A and B are shown apart, each in its own frame.
Chain A
């Protein structure tokens, strides 16, 4: 399907692999320009570059994988629609993360207005309880394996427990590796706000996981 989207409206006289090779060398903003010039295959390249990254970012922020997928798709649809609005003097990655971040924020806001118990959270525990007994690697003891898996789940849970604004900043910094300036642009906050939010998020995160690590 990905191939289909890439091949769907390629430039004449170029094979799909040639297109890909050409696009791989280009920067994001050049690809956006190509897309704006009417080359639809350039959009597929953008999707290919950001799909997994955005999914992980949105999933960590929202905490729901299925909803995360929806939001990532919505992000790409918005990019497709409003690509002409993109300011090419700025980073494309910041722009696309801003769209995804805003969608994630809206999702969290809507959820706080009508709180529901997510099936995902119930399902996660259910899966852990009902998973058949298996050893992934014979070199590890089952106890260690269980402990590691459990610890990872708890640390992941700790991120979900962070307040909405702090979580967004924390995920962008620690998991996406964004700079303070980029985070400020993505979240629409001042640099000082980003710093204080990140500091609070780290303090809260430390307080949540400290008992587990001890």
Chain B
């Protein structure tokens, strides 16, 4: 047996029964080869050390935790078992809902169900005219009397127009106050 062959079949040699041919062949090779003996020794010693390591212990809460999980599984099973009844109920509820929707959607049925209500017509009056904005007409400001209704309205429109395009300071300018002074005589 060559060394490569021994290493290749080491597992079979190691785990084979004592009276098997591969075991005998392997043992014969080990007597001849120091290198393979060392290899075999390393594996066996390593495994022995590994087996000597004390096993890990279960934590104290292992059972409590497991029981908790099992409880949930059991609870889930119970719920699952009771599901057929609940599914029938839910199916019945769904059917009833669909029936109601169909009833109300169907106009012929709904038409028969509608009550006759005659309400008097509501007459809405025309909205009142908005009051004109505060600016007074130029003629009023200047103290010029207006002659006709047309001119008045015209001027009012013009004043509105001027108001719209006037600056803020002009809009809120206080009306002129007549004061009599010694210097100028106001007509």
Contacts and interface: CB of A to CB of B under 8 A. Distances in A.
Nearest to B50: A155
A29 to B, nearest CB: 21
Contact of B55 (A43, A47, A52): A52
A65 B73 CA distance: 24
Contacts of A158: 46
Nearest to A78: B73
A93 interface: no
Interface in A122-171: 151-152, 155-156, 158-159
A96 to B, nearest CB: 14
Contact of A77 (B7, B12, B62, B69): B69
Given A206-B42, A213-B45, A73 B69 contact: yes
A76 B73 CA distance: 11
Question: 8 closest A-B pairs (Cβ-Cβ)?
Answer: A1-B63, A199-B11, A209-B46, A206-B42, A155-B49, A198-B11, A1-B64, A56-B55
Contact of B58 (A4, A51, A206): A51
Interface in B1-31: 7-12, 14-15
B63 A209 contact: no
Interface of B: 7-12, 14-15, 39, 42-43, 45-47, 49-53, 55-59, 62-67, 69-70, 73
Contacts of A1: 63-64, 67
Nearest to A195: B11
Contacts of A76: 66, 70
B12 to A, nearest CB: 7
Given A52-B57, A202-B43, A73 B10 contact: no
B51 A175 contact: yes
Given A73-B69, A198-B11, A174 B50 contact: yes
Contacts of B70: 5, 43, 76-77, 80
A72 to B, nearest CB: 8
A210 interface: yes
Interface residues of A, number: 39
B76 to A, nearest CB: 9
A155 B51 CA distance: 10
Contacts of B55: 52, 55-56
Given A5-B67, A51-B58, A195-B12, A213 B42 contact: yes
A151 B59 contact: no
Contacts of A209: 42, 45-46
A19 interface: no
Nearest to A1: B63
Contact of A174 (B51, B57, B69): B51
Interface string A54-65: 011001000001
Contact of A205 (B14, B46, B56): B46
A180 interface: yes
Contacts of B46: 155, 158, 205-206, 209, 213
B52 A199 contact: no
A47 B52 contact: no
Given A5-B67, A77-B70, A205 B59 contact: no
Given A52-B57, A65-B56, A174 B67 contact: no
A68 B58 CA distance: 10
A155 B42 CA distance: 11
A78 to B, nearest CB: 9
Given A68-B56, A174-B51, 16 more contacts: A4-B67, A5-B67, A47-B66, A52-B58, A56-B56, A73-B69, A76-B70, A77-B70, A81-B73, A155-B53, A202-B11, A202-B14, A205-B46, A206-B43, A213-B45, A213-B46
